[in-house]
Amino acid sequence: MKEVDGKYGLSYNCAMKIRKPLIVLLSLVLLTLLACSPRDTDPLADAVLDFSSLEALAASLAAIGITDAAALIALGLSDPAAFEALGLADPDALTAALAALGVTDPAAIAVAMAAVGITDPADLAALGLRNPSALAAALGVLGITDPEILAPTLAALGVDDPASVGAVLAGLGIRDPAAVAATLSALGLTDPASIATALTALGLTDPVSVAAVLSALGVTDPASVGAVLAGIGLTDPASVAAVLSALGLTDPISIAAVLAAIGRTDPASIAAVLTALGHTDRATVEAVLAALGRTDEPTLLAVLRALGHLPAIALPPAEQPFDPQNVSIEIYEEVMEEVTQLISQLNTIIRARNYSAWVTHLSDLHYREINSAAFLEEREEALFRRDQTVQRNLGRNPALVQRRSLNSSRDFFEFIVVPSRHNDRVDEIEFISRTRVVAFTIDGWGNRLILYNLEFINGNWQIVS
């Protein structure tokens, strides 16, 4: 080969300094041009290919017109390094070349972009992506998952509606509440409707996650919290109470505002939320109802009844003789309804392992009794025998059973009440006196079993034994 300005066309020593792919590239260029050119002309007569660097090679190839995607396809070049060498390392040119090669999958294009060093989020616009799942695939390949980078990338691409943002986050597997909140905040999607839409698209609608996202966004005003809960359909009392508790919104005004926002202002829902929050005192009930503008007597009585704070029963005046064996049908049915509601409420409290709410239904005397050493020792022995029986029925050695200690009414509640009293059903009641009844359940063999001894104290039925 001839020397041109100190450089050689195919000098062996120079060629050995260039990577093998570039030698293959040159060979393909020469063979293609020779095959496609007329026999009577020499297409390389005036061509000088400079192998001193990639940049120099690209320039010399450009001088003979080998820069467009069609030429690359003719040469069979699809290695990203070849695109870079030929000046096709900008997103638009690379995308066009890959499209001409039939490479249209967003993730594959993103791989090629990453290979040639195109990782600026703004360059993704060249992909023309709008489909959230395809965009998520490309972003994942390029490693654009950090909220600080992801949010401006989505904004630059015009993907800023909450449903699409939520779908992109879901496609990237981003479900951490802090990361979700950071992305939504950076995109300005902090209004209740946008938060609800994004969380729904993400499938992130459990109470714990919702509360964490709202807390991270600083959205803790009751009306907004209620609007988000309504937007994602999270309006059952247990979930509402869980979110309120996690956000610290347990004062009557906040509870009322959230209930109003989700449209759950019926007595049963109000009572259920208050029970789950451990607010069963009459003062709180009245404060919540006042904040809701529900100050009518029927609503108050309905909520109190649902909470077990029952109105005075319609018994004969105290000065009249009372015969427990001859209670009128009207009085029996009224008290039966009250006791049934109380036990249903107790079942809910016990299933939730809500010790604080449970003790509010105990008389003072009974509370002191179950905290006494004698009572706890007796129940501890009964618990030990029960555990041994269970092990024996399971075919295990009862001698290996560890004795569990009962040191307080809380231990009694956890180990005795919760396992056995969470699904009681009252079938009958029996009057002992004007203000005292026994609630019974009937087992499968027709036996009457005592559920509770109840006494009407200060306007409420309370457990006395």
Q: How many domains does the chain have?
A: 3
Task: Tell me if 104 is assigned to some domain.
Answer: no
249 and 361 inside one domain? no
334 and 456 inside one domain? yes
Q: Reduce the DSSP state of residue 72 to 3 states and report it.
A: helix
Residue pair 45/10 in contact (Cβ under 8 Å)? The answer is: no
372 vs 270: CA distance, rounded Å: 35
Residue pair 411/399 in contact (Cβ under 8 Å)? The answer is: no
256 and 354 inside one domain? no
Residue pair 166/184 in contact (Cβ under 8 Å)? The answer is: no
Task: Tell me if 414 is assigned to some domain.
Answer: yes
245 and 301 inside one domain? yes
Q: What is the chain's pLDDT, residue by residue, as a tens digit (465 residues)?
A: 333 333 333 333 333 333 344 444 444 444 444 444 444 444 445 555 555 544 555 556 566 655 544 444 444 444 545 555 555 555 666 666 556 555 555 556 666 665 555 555 555 555 555 567 667 776 776 677 777 777 777 777 777 788 888 888 888 888 888 888 888 888 888 898 989 888 888 888 888 888 888 988 898 888 899 889 888 888 888 888 888 888 888 888 889 888 888 888 888 888 888 888 888 777 888 888 888 888 777 777 778 777 766 544 444 455 556 677 788 888 888 888 889 988 998 999 998 889 888 988 988 888 888 888 888 888 888 878 877 777 777 778 767 767 888 888 888 898 888 888 888 889 999 988 888 899 999 888 888 888 899 988 877 889 988
Cα–Cα distance list, 465 to 194, 367, 409 (Å): 53, 9, 13
For residue 139, give every residue at least 6 positions away whose Cβ sits within 8 Å of its Cβ, in sequence order, or none: 110, 124, 145, 150, 153, 168, 172
426 and 390 inside one domain? no
272 and 378 inside one domain? no
381 and 459 inside one domain? no
Provide the domain limits for residue 395.
Answer: 374-401
Task: Tell me if 449 is assigned to some domain.
Answer: yes
Task: Tell me if 275 is assigned to some domain.
Answer: yes
What's the length of the chain? 465
Q: What is the CATH number of the domain that holds 459?
A: 3.10.450
Task: Tell me if 56 is assigned to some domain.
Answer: no
Residue pair 145/112 in contact (Cβ under 8 Å)? The answer is: no
448 and 347 inside one domain? yes
Task: Tell me if 264 is assigned to some domain.
Answer: yes
391 and 456 inside one domain? no
363 and 423 inside one domain? yes
